[in-house]
Structure 1
Amino acid sequence: MIQGLVAIFLASILTENYILSKFLGICPFLGVSKKVNTAVGMSVAVTFVMVLATAVTWPIYTYLLVPNDLAYLQTIVFILIIAALVQLVEIVLRKYIPSLYNALGIYLPLITTNCAVLGVTMLVLEKGAADPTFGYLQSLVNAFGSGIGFLVAMVIFAGVRQKMEACDIPETMKGLPITLVAASLVAVSFLGFQGLVDGLLG
């Protein structure tokens, strides 16, 4: 049981990273990764929303939508729930951490439409359909691990981008081109973790 949860947690961080493996949530990944502190703040907010959204949407889908043949409404319902949670995060940050609220800017309300958050809530249902042992607890562990994976990707990439500022980059590669090249190299580096997770699952 514990080994299975650890495997789910590590897989969601390393081999099933929503940014670097599934390429979801690229907008904040490229937009808020210029500084480590804003990357961490954004990632903590996304992690909170991921876990809370999964905690709310899983039982709603399982015990309300499916029994009443309303499963086709899951996308609309999930987006509404995520939007409400993001509003909660926005209110808390505005009141208690205004500096982070101002630093995140437009990217904070964009968590509402962040496909990584929506992807977590929907893909755990697919995993549950494929594997009956993948229940509510596993879904929460997967959501938390996905949030930590988001944090790891953001912090690593923010560090890379800060290092690049001191580099002599050719004029034609400055800006978005070198950013995308760096992002692809960071994504490739995560392929090395596949054996570790496979060993735990095996």
Structure 2
Amino acid sequence: MLTKTLRQNLGPIPKDVSPALNLNGTFRGDHDLNPASAPLRDETYTPAAVLVPIVLRNEGMTMLLTRRAAHLAKHPGQISFPGGRAEEEDLSAVETALRESEEEISLNPDLVEIVGSLNTYITVTRYSVTPVVGFVQPSFSLRPEIGEVSEIFEVPLAFLLDEKNRKKHSGFHNGIERFWYAIPYNDYYIWGATAGMIKDLSERVLLE
């Protein structure tokens, strides 16, 4: 059963405000496909966390995703997990992920069972992101925070975990070719850090 496999193969539930400002342990990131941009362990990164919300629907599990508002200065219109920068009052990455999810999409934390984590993900914008995985009861009533989120939607988890649906795309930035993972789904283009975290999740399933 997939829920059992994930419980067994996910990383531990974060107990502190991890990720640390300085890198330690295992981490993934945009550099997976762009080795020249590999982060330095002695540099500092802004801690953040996202919730990787797996909805336990009877007809099949889904992943809850958001589309960022088009007017945002950073990553407008991109597909992402709910989450964001850690605040001083957050005692752990779990608190950050749940707080941000409630603020962004009105997801009640009581409906979320945190079951583990993925590898810390380092972005080119110098964020150190802890992906916190949670099983979500489908009895939610969601509402997007229009200042940050333009849309909330679900994608079948089986589709996202199937490696045949994951592509490697590329483009040029400042004359340098960069590569990223992408998972096109209907009119949605899931790519970058979000697709990279989903790849990490799919590898946990394959461990079984």
* TM-score, normalised relative to structure 2: 0.26
* TM-score, normalised relative to structure 1: 0.27
Which structure features the higher share of helix residues?
Answer: 1
